[in-house]
Structure 1
Amino acid sequence: MTSPTFACQHMPGITAISVAGDLEAANADQLDAFTRTRRRPGDHVVLDLSEVPFLDHSGLRVLLNVRALIRRHGGDLYLACLQQSPVRLLTTAGALPTLTMHHSFEQAIRAALQASQTPQAKREQFRGGDAE
């Protein structure tokens, strides 16, 4: 068992969190706690899981709970760079349709940036339509 470590960076509308280590029953709640304290309300969250070789059902539960929390606050969760073992669990558990996954961190960041800009563009378009 490898205890996870976390690194966080903020961009406009996005909180990017890199995770390294296993996410399992003994430590998966650390990700939940870290995400709750580091993300900004309304931010989309990108989790770089390239350094997570193992994910168990407790880790999956935390990912689903983190996604639900983020969505309640107007954002969404984007997973990047999953290794084979975590993908196998997500597939077996039927979680793939629920979680947004990307092959690279850059793809996930682009998708989150696009999503974070979409509501702003819609608000501006609506305001513009009101002015006419």
Structure 2
Amino acid sequence: MITVTGQVGTALADDLAAYIQQVRRRPSDQLVFDLSDALFEETGGVQALMEVSAWSQEHGGEVRLAAPPSDFVGRMQVAKLDAFVPVHATVDDAVHAAAAGARQVPPTRGD
């Protein structure tokens, strides 16, 4: 699990992508991002997560987003990105789904 805190924007997107590549053990890993304390004021952070998700899927892995803020979920739904990346209401839900390899998309938490 990778916990993302604070403001995530375009300036941090490259650092986030590089960090993810460093901590990943295998391309097929199931990655869970705890977004409960993250703020997404720009699209760069969302774009970085989508790029990591696409790369993971190409290699048999999957990215799951846990407890994202409601405005983040709204942006994902408008862009129809929630169809490609599972979004879970809680960290526990995301971790359990990753462990089971199931692609479940329960409702997100409200802010």
Question: Structures share a fold, TM > 0.5?
Answer: yes
Is residue 115 of structure 1 aligned with residue 106 of structure 2? no
Contact 2:40 2:46 in 1 (8 A): no
RMSD of equivalent CA atoms? 1.5
SS across alignment from 2:7: coil
Provide, for residues 63-94 of structure 1, a one-character-per-residue CA deviation record: whole Å limited to 9, x for no partner. Answer: 11100111222210000000122112212222
Contact 1:56 1:89 in 2 (8 A): no
Structure with bigger RCO (C-alpha 8 Å, 6+ apart): 2
Matched residues, number:
101
Task: Name the counterpart of 1:26.
Answer: 11
Larger radius of gyration: 1
Contact 2:13 2:45 in 1 (8 A): yes
Task: Name the counterpart of 1:37.
Answer: 22
What is the rounded CA distance, in whole Å, between the counterparts of 2:101 and 2:73 in structure 1? 24
Percent identity over the alignment is 31
- Where do 4+ consecutive residues of structure 1 move more than 3 Å? none
Aligned residue identity for 1:58: G
Task: Name the counterpart of 1:54.
Answer: 40
Structure 1: give runs of 5+ residues left out of the alignment: 1-15, 117-132
TM-score, normalised by the number of residues in structure 1: 0.71
Task: Name the counterpart of 1:73.
Answer: 59
